[in-house]
Structure 1
Amino acid sequence: MIALSGVRKSFGSNAVLRDVTLSVARGTSTVIIGGSGTGKSVMLKCILGLVAPDAGTITVDGRDVHEGDRDAFLARFGMLFQGGALFDSLPVWQNVAFRLLRGPLKRPAAEARDIAVEKLRRVGLKPEVADRLPAELSGGMQKRVGLARAIAAEPEIIFFDEPTTGLDPIMAGVINDLIREIVTEMGATAMTITHDMSSVRAIADTVAMLHDGVIQWTGPIGEMDAAPDPYLQQFIHGRAEGPIEAVR
């Protein structure tokens, strides 16, 4: 479904992606791990065509991400942003239905609201939440609203950027379970960026570790713990000593 080959991207003298090659199978959940500043978010932006790589190719469903109708291309994606990225001035239902109220996916307002309420129900929020403002919700509820928005337009591909950041362990577990259930139900192809190893174990079919601008290791989640790669082992166990230098 998604294929990157020899992708490179630099910002001035800072080479963020040096030679990224990765394949994501249709209908699977791939989790990208790696330290802060290793280029995980840049890689997602390249896949979306928001950042142009300096070299290499990126295809979605066999087609280059820079070819064809941009609106139609982006309509295939849903995204759960790290900080929620909800619009403070809009009620919850309009946040969830944002893409359904404008652009190529536009629906009548009443229909868009009904869809929003149903997606809120799917993530465990009651209908009365629909008319509240984001500031009236807890962090966990805001994250659920973001998840409802990500799935509102029934996307084929969903990106999750640090989905459990800032949540307590119980709510993080709830969000992980919801992501796993929803991706399975929808048959969507999912890519997740996270530092949270509990999230990795809960939602990944495949794990890929990005380090120093390359995919250091990739494989099924069931092979991760026994993999001999020292970079991977240092990261997943949070060890201070190892080939990855800790910034002091």
Structure 2
Amino acid sequence: MIQLSGVHKAFGANRVLRGVDLSLPKGQSMVIIGGSGTGKSVLLKCVLGLVRPDQGQITVGGQDVTQGDRDAFLARFGMLFQGAALFDSMRVWENVAFRLLRGPGRLPKAEAREIAIEKIRRVGLKPQVADLFPAELSGGMQKRVGLARAIAANPEIIFFDEPTTGLDPIMSGVINQLIREIVVELGVTAMTITHDMTSVRAIADRVAMLHDGLIRWTGPVAEMDQAVDPYLQQFIHGRAEGPIESVR
């Protein structure tokens, strides 16, 4: 579904991506791990076509991400943002139905609200939540609303950007379980960026480690612990000593 071949991206003298090769099969969940500043977010933006690579090619479903109708291309994606990124001035159901009300093929308000409430239920919230404002929700509830918005338009591909950031361990477990259920239930292709190794083990079919602008290791999550790559082992076990230098 997603194919990156020899992708390079630099910002001035800062070479962020240095020849990334990565393949994500349709219907699978891939988690990209790596330290802060290693280029994970830039890679995601390149896949979305928000940042144009300097070299290489990225295709989604065989389509070059830099070509074709942008609205139609982006309509294939759903996104759960790191901070939920809800609109404070809109009620919960309006946040969930945002694309349904404004995107291509927009729906009547009543129909969009009905779909929004269905998705709100799907992420484990009561229908009454629909008429609240984001400020009236806890952090975990806001994250669930963000997830409901991500699946509202039934996308083919969903990106999850640090889905458990700022949540306690119990709520993190709830969100991880919801993500896994939804990916399987909807049959979507999923790409997640996270530092949380508990999330990695809970939601990944495959794992890719990005370091110094390159994919250091990629493979099934079941093979991650036995992999011999020293960068991967240092990262997943949180060791201070190893080839990855910490900034002191």
Q: How many residues align?
A: 248
Residue in 2 that maps onto 1:54: 54
Q: Which residue of 1 aligns with 2:22?
A: 22
1:71 and 2:71 are equivalent in the alignment: yes
TM-score (norm 1): 0.99
Residues 188-199 of structure 1: pairs in structure 2 closer than 5 A: 188-199=188-199
SS of residue in 2 equivalent to 1:78: strand
Deviations 1:159-201 (A, max 9, x none): 0000000000000000000000000000000000000000000
Q: Is the 8 A contact 1:99 1:105 kept in 2?
A: no
Correspondence for 1:119: 119
**Displacement after TM superposition at 1:105 (Å):** 3.3
Is residue 86 of structure 1 aligned with residue 86 of structure 2? yes
Aligned partner of 2:201: which letter? R
Give the whole-Å Cα distance in 1 for the aligned partners of 2:194 and 2:223: 18
CA deviation after TM superposition for structure 1 residue 67, in Å: 1.3
Q: Secondary structure at the match of 1:146?
A: helix
Letter in 2 for 1:225: D
What RMSD over aligned residues (CA atoms) do the two structures have, in Å?
Answer: 0.4
User: Structure 1 stretches of 5 or more lacking a match?
Assistant: none
Report what 1:95 is aligned to: 95
AA in 1 matched with 2:126: K
Q: Which amino acid aligns with 2:8?
A: R
| Cα distance in 2, alignment partners of residues 117 and 103 from structure 1 | 18
CA-to-partner distance for each residue in 1:13-37, whole Å, 9 max, x for gaps?
A: 1000011000000000000000001
Alignment-derived partner of residue 151 in structure 2: 151
Instruction: List, as ranges, runs of 4+ consecutive aligned residues in structure 1 with deviation greater than 4 Å.
Output: none
Equivalence map 1:172-211=2 (5 Å): 172-211=172-211
Q: Secondary structure at the match of 2:181?
A: helix
Give the conservation status (yes or no) of the 8 Å contact 1:206–1:221: yes
Instruction: Determine the C-alpha separation between the residues in 2 that align with 1:105 and 1:243.
Output: 51
Unmatched 5+ residue regions in structure 2? none
Partner of 2:133: 133
> TM-score of the superposition, structure 2-length normalised?
0.99
